[in-house]
């Protein structure tokens, strides 16, 4: 089959280093168009792939079969419903929006348009995490622990963007953390946040089966910590640490599975409703 023409919304760091290379490298997809607020940035990125560049969103939609978003959440919340109304399948970033009301309105618009969606909850596309989750299915989980600690918001980082610095790490990486806790311990029924959302936050979750989860989130610490473990009567089970080449494997898997979403018209298990559930836990 011919590769699916993907339009990339955004021309900044994340579009240039993750979304566009991901779609260009896959045999299932190609970058056909780039939309950017600054036309110069859109042209620069599009030229790498022989793609169309524009700052006109309607013109952009005419140049692609499906859309991937690499823009701040408020921009995604504004443009995704327009793309959905145009019949375009959507690859969405987390969080869906800056506010819960915007996220709910966005999902309502997507549902009304009946287009399939997929979320970039990147750790869930890792082979090692999928293997870990398969092991957890046969494990009696009484408790779970995870951490997502980095220096992503420190000066000089490309991720120290205005919306992240204003809203903090919980809205930015919290969806990753809560998605994983939910996946290993069951649906989250209650949640408590303790700490400074702009510095370090402790998260406690209570799950439908009675398990308790604990997480630490910070993006202002030099260095990086990521871990995930579950424990119960059978002992402790921990996710293995990342291996070399994992980033490329994750990108290949996201692109391949999004191509399947587009071709079948069926949303991914990690879809816009999953994104809304996670945002409701954070902001509900």
Fold observed for domain 4-121+247-283: Rossmann fold (3.40.50)
CA distance 167 to 12: 19
* Residues 48-84: tens digit of each pLDDT: 999 999 999 999 999 999 999 999 999 999 999 999 9
The residues spanned by each domain of the chain are: 4-121+247-283, 127-240
What is the mean predicted confidence (pLDDT) over 31-36? 98
Which residues, at least 6 apart from 250, have a Cβ–Cβ distance to it below 8 Å? Answer: 122, 123, 125, 126
E-state strands within 60-138: 66-69, 90-92, 117-119
Backbone angles phi and psi of 30, in degrees to 5: -145, 155
* Residues 191-248: tens digit of each pLDDT: 999 999 899 999 999 999 999 999 999 999 999 999 999 999 999 999 998 888 999 9
Q: Token match 């298990």: residue?
A: 269
**Residue 223: is it exposed, middle or buried by C-beta count within 10 angstroms (0-12/13-18/19+)?**
exposed
CATH code matching the domain that covers 127-240, chosen among 3.40.190.10, 3.30.540.10, 3.30.70.20, 3.30.360.10: 3.30.360.10
Q: What is the pLDDT of residue 19?
A: 98
Q: What is the chain's mean pLDDT, rounded?
A: 97
> Is pLDDT of 1 > 90?
no
**DSSP secondary structure, 183-239, as one string:** HHH--EEEEEEEE-TTSEEEEEEEETTS-EEEEEEESSSSS-EEEEEEEETTEEEEP
Full-model pTM: 0.97
- CA distance between the termini of the chain: 43
E-state strands within 58-152: 66-69, 90-92, 117-119, 143-149
């Amino acid at each position: 089959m011919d590769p699916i023409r993907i339009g990339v919304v955004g021309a900044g760091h994340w579009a240039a280093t993750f979304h566009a290379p991901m779609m260009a490298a896959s045999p299932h997809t190609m970058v056909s168009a780039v939309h950017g607020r600054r036309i110069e940035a859109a042209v620069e990125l599009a030229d790498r792939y022989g793609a169309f560049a524009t700052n006109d969103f309607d013109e952009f939609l005419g140049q692609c079969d499906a859309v991937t978003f690499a823009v701040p959440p408020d921009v995604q919340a504004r443009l995704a419903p327009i793309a959905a109304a145009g019949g375009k399948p959507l690859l969405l970033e987390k969080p869906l929006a800056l506010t819960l009301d915007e996220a709910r309105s966005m999902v309502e618009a997507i549902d009304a348009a009946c287009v399939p969606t997929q979320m970039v909850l990147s750790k869930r596309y890792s082979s090692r995490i999928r293997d870990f989750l398969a092991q957890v299915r046969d494990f009696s989980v009484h408790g779970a622990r995870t951490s997502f600690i980095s220096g992503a918001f420190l000066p000089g980082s490309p991720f120290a963007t205005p919306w992240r610095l204003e809203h903090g790490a919980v809205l930015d990486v919290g969806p990753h953390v809560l998605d994983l806790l939910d996946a290993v311990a069951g649906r989250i029924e209650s949640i408590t946040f303790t700490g400074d959302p702009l510095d370090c936050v402790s998260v406690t979750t209570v799950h439908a089966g009675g398990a308790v989860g604990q997480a630490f989130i910070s993006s202002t610490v030099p260095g990086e910590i990521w871990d995930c473990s579950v424990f119960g009567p059978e002992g402790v089970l921990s996710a293995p640490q990342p291996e070399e080449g994992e980033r490329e494997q994750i990108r290949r898997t996201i692109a391949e599975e999004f191509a399947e979403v587009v071709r079948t018209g069926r949303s991914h298990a990690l879809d816009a409703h999953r994104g809304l559930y996670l945002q409701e836990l954070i902001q509900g």
